[in-house]
A and B are shown apart, each in its own frame.
Chain A
Amino acid sequence: AQSVTQLGSHVSVSEGALVLLRCNYSSSVPPYLFWYVQYPNQGLQLLLKYTTGATLVKGINGFEAEFKKSETSFHLTKPSAHMSDAAEYFCAVRDAGGTSYGKLTFGQGTILTVHP
C-alpha cells in the first residue's frame, strides 16, 4: 500500500527565511503528486501538482516543489517565508496505475509557523 511521510509535524521559520517541507512516498511507480495547504477552519487548497513533464513545479504564493524519482521525494520550498504562509501543509500521492489506481493518500501534515 502507498504511504506518504512528511518529516516534521511542526516546522518553525522566521519571516524571510527559506521554507522547506519534506515529503517522501513509497510507490515504485511514478505517481501523481500534490501539495495542499489548509488555513485554520478552512478546507484544503491546492498549492501545486506534478503529473508528468518537468520535475520542478511552480505553484501559487511563490511555492515550488521538485519531483525526485530516485529519492521518491517531492519536497516543498519557498525562498522567503511570509507571515501569511502560516498554515498546515499536506503532501498527497495518487497512484497512477496498479490495483489502487485512483486512491489518494495524504501525509500526516506539517504545521508551518512563521515568526516575525
Chain B
Amino acid sequence: EAQVTQNPRYLITVTGKKLTVTCSQNMNHEYMSWYRQDPGLGLRQIYYSMNVEVTDKGDVPEGYKVSRKEKRNFPLILESPSPNQTSLYFCASSLSLGNEQFFGPGTRLTVL
C-alpha cells in the first residue's frame, strides 16, 4: 500500500531532550516536506527536500534540522526542543512539485 508513515504518532518530552521524528514513503517520491499545524495558523512548512541530499528551509525552520540521505526517508530532528515546538507535525511527499502531496498521519508532540 502506497503510504507515508511517521513515528512516533504521539510524543511527550521535556525541554532540551533531543528527539527525532521519522518519516518514510514507499512511492519513490522525489519531493518530501515537513509541516507543523497550529490552531488558527494553518500548516506552516518547516523544511522541504527536492531530492536526495537537497534540502531547503521553509517558513519556520528555526529549531529544526532535517536530512535526506535516502530517497524514502526524511527525518525531522529537534536538537533542543522547547515548549513553543509543541504542535502537530505532518510529513508529506509528492512525485514532483506539481503533483499531489501525500500526507502522513501526523505526530502530536508535547514539550514540557
Complex interface bits, A80-116 against B, C-beta within 8 A gives 1, otherwise 0: 0000000000101010100001111111110000000
CB <8 Å contact, B40 and A43: no
- Chain A residue total in the interface (Cβ 8 A): 25
- Chain B residue total in the interface (Cβ 8 A): 24
| Residues of B close to A43: CB separation below 8 A | 90, 103-106
Between B42, B45, B56, B97, the greatest number of chain A beta carbons within 10 A of the residue's beta carbon is seen for B42
CB <8 Å contact, B50 and A109: no
| Residues of A close to B92: CB separation below 8 A | 44
Complex interface bits, A1-34 against B, C-beta within 8 A gives 1, otherwise 0: 1000010010000000000000000000000101
New A-B contacts (7) at CB < 8 Å, excluding given A45-B103, A94-B98? A43-B90, A43-B103, A96-B97, A104-B33, A104-B101, A106-B45, A107-B42
Q: List 11 A-B contacts (CB under 8 A).
A: A1-B59, A32-B97, A43-B103, A44-B90, A44-B103, A103-B48, A104-B58, A105-B59, A107-B42, A108-B40, A109-B40
